[in-house]
Amino acid sequence: MQLNNAKKYSDCLENPSEIVLLSPSVRSNVLKALICLSKYLGKYLDFKEKIKQYGIKWDRTDSLQTFINIMNNNHDDLLDWYSKAYNALSDHEKLYLRFISLSGLRVSEGIESFNLIIELSRQNKLNDYYNEDLEILEHYKYKQFLRNSKNVYITIIRKKFINKIANSKPVHYMTIRKHLAKNSLESRIKELRQYYATFMVRHNLIREEVDLLQGRIPKSIFIRHYWSPSFKELRDRTLKAIRELEQTLN
């Protein structure tokens, strides 16, 4: 996304007036892309001064808006949607939907991981990605999971489920969306990530552990310098919660 935004709005480095007209969420993404581009071109200080002159500011979600977002994140009917979506998809797409639900990955990360499992299994290299002892997918070893933001480092998931994916077929998000639309269903796959996070916190994982599993590393001194979780102990509690989540999805 950053590369596309940098190409599309590159003229705004010299004249950022167009940025003012963008919606707050789009504006933030464009600013991030242009800041990276300006640093690469050695024009960051000049660009920074220009956006200041135009009065362009970052969109910062205030506490009220955060509260409203929480109120709107009502997942009461999500499991009903999940059941309908599950029945609308082909076998390997059903497996992907369940994978997203049990891993808490973002939609694109789930596609990347699902297909990488299949690819490495066919090359007899799955052990390079999946740590059987800890039952962890080690995303951090692969550059497609490490971006400027929104990284994901590990996923704890049972070996039995990984083997099912390894013997499946690759998935494509647009095909999944078409199958859902054919059955008059919108795509709510990204909501499964939110459901996973809430479920895990309610089932014996602390917030920092859920953040770790979903690729959020807070900038707190405690996390960066003092926190040292036992991955075996975290694995056991996570897998226990996942078993309960599986029962909820059935």
pLDDT surpasses 50 at 67: no
Q: Go through the domains of the chain in sequence order and give each one's CATH number.
A: 2-53 (no CATH), 78-249 (1.10.443.10)
Q: What is the pLDDT of residue 228?
A: 76
pLDDT surpasses 60 at 43: yes
pLDDT in tens, 140-149: 999 999 876 7
**Whole-angstrom Cα distance, residue 11 to residue 103?**
40
Percentage of residues in the chain with pLDDT exceeding 70? 87
**Whole-angstrom Cα distance, residue 32 to residue 51?**
12
pLDDT in tens, 148-180: 677 899 999 999 999 999 999 999 999 999 999
pLDDT surpasses 70 at 102: yes
pTM exceeds 0.75: no
DSSP secondary structure, the chain, as one string: -HHHHHHHTGGGGT-GGGGGGS-HHHHHHHHHHHHHHHHHHT-HHHHHHHHHHTT-------HHHHHHHHHH---TTHHHHHHHHHHHS-HHHHHHHHHHHHH---HHHHHHHHHHHHHHHHTT-GGGTEETTTTEEEGGGSGGG--SSS---EEE--HHHHHHHHTS----HHHHHHHHHHTT----HHHHHHHHHHHHHHTT--HHHHHHHTT-----HIIIII----HHHHHHHHHHHHHHHHHHH-
pLDDT surpasses 80 at 37: yes
Q: What is the pLDDT of residue 69?
A: 53
pLDDT surpasses 70 at 28: yes
**Whole-angstrom Cα distance, residue 49 to residue 43?**
10
pLDDT in tens, 79-98: 999 999 999 999 999 999 99
The label of the residue with tokens 């242009």 reads: 34
pLDDT surpasses 90 at 205: yes
Banded model confidence at residue 50, pLDDT cuts 50, 70, 90: confident
